[in-house]
Amino acid sequence: MILSNANHARPPRPRGEMNDAGIVSPSLRGLHGQLVESIGMSIAAGEFAAGEQISPESLAETFEVSRSVVREVLKVLEAKGMIGARPRTGTRVRPQTWWNLLDPDVIRWRSTGPDSARQFEELLGVRGAIEPLAARNATAAATPVDIQALAESLLAMSDAVTTQDWLAFTEADVVFHRALLRASGSLVVAQLADPIEAALRVRHKLQLVPTVLSPEVVVSHEAILDAILRHDGAQAELASRQIVDVAGAEVMASLMSAAVERESDGQQVESGGAS
C-alpha cells in the first residue's frame, strides 16, 4: 500500500493474497473483497500508525483499480471504524479504540497480527462473561428447536473426534455455541454469536488447538445439554465456564509456545545458527 506521505511508503500486499490464517470471509471475495482484505490486514498488522493518511489515488494506481472501487473499499473499512475521512485532512487510520472490535473481519485481521495474544485474551474474556450466563438462561428458555440443534451438533462433534477431523469438529463446535447463545432467549446475547464464531474459526486456522481431539471435549459439551434438559442452571453455567477456561488455557499455551519458537528462531539467525 502507498500512503500520501512518500516517506512512509510501503510495498502493497499482492492483490488477492490470502491472509496468514489462510481464510477470507465469504463477504470479502472478488476484487473488491480482496482489496478490503489486503488493506484491512495491513492496518490491523500495525503497518500504519493511527493518524497516518491514506491516499485513494495512490491505492487506485497501486492496485490497478478505478477510484470508484477504492472509494467503495474505503467505505467498508470506515464502517468498521478502522479509517475516517474528513474534509481537508483526508482519509486517515483511526486508533483501535474506534474500531468495531466485534466485527468478524476485524477479529480475523487482529488475530493474525502482532495483537493476536491480546485479541484472544479479550475474546476469551467476552466468552467467559457471556456463554456461562447463556447456558444458565437456556435451562429455562431453550426451545425444542434449540435442543435439537445442540443435540445434532454434539453428534457431529463426536463423529469428528472419531475421525480426528479438526475442520469438521470446528464446524460442529460453531453450530453448538451459536445454538447455545440462541437458546439463552436473549436477542442481544444471540448477536454475539458472530464474533465468537470468528474466534473459533481463527483458533482452528492458526492451529491454536491440541494435536489430538479427545473424547473428553464431547463429554464437556454434553454436560451443558444434560444440564439444560434437567433445567439445572447452576450446573449448566459451571459446565460452560469449564469449556471456556480449558479453551482459553489451550489458546494461550499455544500462543506462548509459538512466541518462544519465534524468539528461538530469531536468536539462531542472529548467531548464524543452523536453519
Render pLDDT for 163-189 as a digit per residue (tens, 0 to 9).
Answer: 999 999 999 999 999 999 999 999 999
Taking only Cα atoms into account, the Rg of the chain, rounded to an integer number of angstroms, comes to: 21
* CB 73 within 8 Å of CB 32: yes
In the chain, domain spans: 6-97, 115-270
Per-residue confidence band for 262, with pLDDT thresholds at 50, 70 and 90: low
Supply the pTM of this predicted model.
0.77
Question: In this model, does residue 19 exceed pLDDT 50?
Answer: no
pLDDT score, position 266: 57
Query: Average model confidence (pLDDT) for the chain?
Result: 84
pLDDT tens digits, residue range 77-89? 999 999 998 888 8
Distance of alpha carbon 220 from the chain centroid: 23
Q: How many CB atoms lie within 10 A of CB 27?
A: 12
Best-predicted range by mean pLDDT (47-61, 69-83, 197-211, 260-274): 69-83
Question: 115-270 adopts what CATH topology?
Answer: Four Helix Bundle (Hemerythrin (Met), subunit A) (1.20.120)
Per-residue confidence band for 260, with pLDDT thresholds at 50, 70 and 90: low
pLDDT score, position 206: 82
| Farthest CA pair distance, the chain | 65
pLDDT score, position 133: 96
Question: Of all residues in the chain, what percent are helix, strand and coil, respectively (each to 5)?
Answer: 70, 5, 30
pLDDT score, position 89: 84
* CB 170 within 8 Å of CB 200: yes
Per-residue confidence band for 243, with pLDDT thresholds at 50, 70 and 90: very high
Q: How many CB atoms lie within 10 A of CB 122?
A: 16
Q: Which residues have C-beta within 8 Å of that of residue 74, sequence separation ≥ 6? A: 54, 56, 83, 85, 91
The answer to whether 6-97 and 115-270 have equal CATH topology is: no
pLDDT score, position 204: 85
pLDDT tens digits, residue range 108-156? 999 887 878 888 888 888 999 999 999 999 999 999 999 999 999 999 9
Per-residue confidence band for 207, with pLDDT thresholds at 50, 70 and 90: confident
- Is 1.10.10.10 the CATH number for 6-97? yes
